Amino acid sequence: MSFRKPGKRSIGWLLLLVLMIPLIAACGETAAPTATVGSTPATGGEPTAAPTTAPTDDTAAATPTEAAAATEEPTMGDADKYLVFGGSGEPDSLDSMDTTTGTALIVTRQIQESLLGFKAGTLEVVPELATKWEPNADATEWTFTLREGVKFSDGTDFNADAVVFNFQRLFVPDFEFGFRAEGKQYNIVPDIFGGYAGDPNSAFKEVVAVDPTTVKFVLTRPVPLLPSYLAASYFGISSPDAVKAAKEKYGSPEVGGVGTGPFKFERWDAGQSITLVRNEDYWGDKAKMPGVVVRFIAEAPQRLAELEAGTIDFTINLSADSRDKIASSADLQVVDLTPFNIAYLSLNMNNKPFDDVRVRQAVAYAINKQEILDASYGGVGSIADDFLPDGLAEYRATDLEPYAYDPEKAKALLAEAGYADGFSTMVLTDGTELPLELWYMPVSRPYYPDAKSVAELYAAQLSDVGIKVELKTEDWGVYLDNWDAGLKNGMVMLGWTGDYGDPNNFLFTHFGPGNADEAGYTNEQVWQLLADAGGASSPAESIRLFQEAGKLINTDLPRIPIVHAPPVLAAKKALQGWVPNPTGGESFAPISITK
């Protein structure tokens, strides 16, 4: 079965429109969570997802009053009626501000809401905990009006002080309740904002409570797309009382998380599942189901087998060769989603010989991306010459070197660099020589649904030009912690699903200052170009700057883009209301299935 792409509505085009009117305030002041926003400064960029069923009167969202009347307080006795989601791995934390993993953020999205959110199936920014937002003349200050009458699920009030508390622990290194010394890291901050408060590269200066229902973000440079940033799952707001009480344990299996969302944390059975129950005091439309069980099923074949057996209701990141099987089932459905991601191979430039660009280029020429796409993705998707997905294609440089498969050129570059016979070791910064490592992730992700099989292809292709690797993996949480700490040597398989429709979410995130610690890439010219592009006053200038940065990145080649591939999502045919988001995180509140 070939993948059917929904009609594409260009993210980049809408971003252009946004940049033309970056200073227009967005508003959508209404008490209902289904409120639409009028003129938003967001990228509406919209790879869209088809809902699992066509909307009908039966599946339309109920009003808060109707939903409350139709549901009863859930109890653990209702567990057999809970929605069951087959997740592709165990979260590392339920503190949304202290994780970057999709396995965690898809759960935190149910518990902790952000100031803004995304319209179902799109990247259009809409109100969530904020109802209005407005910039000053140059977008160096943004004022947000907060939704009134909202409480955290522990009964405490959501207000401006709560927002300030959360962003202080995220941005301010010495904030009393950040618990950094005890292990909290907040790694997403440098990737999106360039650094923490006080860092010379940081766009963040401070956030202040103007009054109980108003907060102001003060920035060090223009950030026209701040509303899009804050709609990302990383910025879910937690109860300050819960954070203070749990300290560094907040987000852990013992504690979980506390937010304002449609579900509440119930329990975390380590290695097995997380159970959420419906928040009966939720400010908006109540969740359709009394609870959700998020099961941790790392292997894609097992997730498919459990979906077929009926022990889970819906799942993600299945293998490409499962499409035909799902489509031919009378009980299952494939749920299509346009790819908004990148699979890549990172080369640690702190390790010799990857400090030599000729060696990095040789690795790129040695990789047969088409073979990988055909063998591991069923030929569905596209070969990547650039980190930007198709929805942001107008920001790609037009004359990039594609590094098309050419093993003879790879061998020539290796010989030129002094490795005519290839190599099988790497040298760390302290002079230690070790076998060359190629790390693959132990979980299924949208961009690498079967990472081990791709790693085996990499190893075989690299061996053909004389590069011998040892395949390695480890627990997913440890894998990411070691990556963030710069402890992943050699070659590392990773990927990215966009959080919002901005080229910098792909480029600054991977080639900004944060990469210096992760894998040794430092290019201040690239950093400045990306920062200037993000604050450009015109679409044409933004495109020019992004393309100029893209050329430099393409030449430096610290990470090799491999493919843009759509994730394989599936559900029972009886499941209604699931509209996957291009970011990989959406509310489960509208989903229902008769049990």
Residues 6+ apart with CB under 8 A from 540: none
pTM (whole model) above 0.85: no
The pLDDT value recorded for residue 34 is 30
CA 171 vs. chain centroid, Å, equals 19
Name beta bridge partners: 265: 276
Q: Is the CB of residue 320 less than 8 Å from the CB of residue 380?
A: yes
Checking DSSP bridges between strand 382-383 and strand 559-564, what pairing results, if any?
A: antiparallel
Structural contact between residues 356 and 417, judged by C-beta atoms closer than 8 angstroms: yes
Distance in angstroms (rounded) separating the CA atoms of residues 307 and 86: 8
Which residues neighbour 505 within 8 Å (Cβ) at sequence distance 6 or greater? 192, 498, 499
- Residue 492's nearest CA partner among 448, 523, 530 is 448
Q: Omega into 590 within 30° of 0, i.e. cis?
A: no
The Cα–Cα gap between 373 and 323 comes to 15
Instruction: Identify the pLDDT of residue 66.
Output: 35
The pLDDT, as a whole number, for residue 46 is 39
Sign of CA dihedral 294, 297, 303, 305: negative
Strand order in the sheet with 341-347: 382-383, 559-564, 341-347, 491-497, 437-439, 470-472
> What are the φ and ψ backbone dihedral angles of 297, each rounded to 5 degrees?
-130, 95
Low pLDDT (below 70) residues in the chain: 1-77
Residue with tokens 């223009």: 222
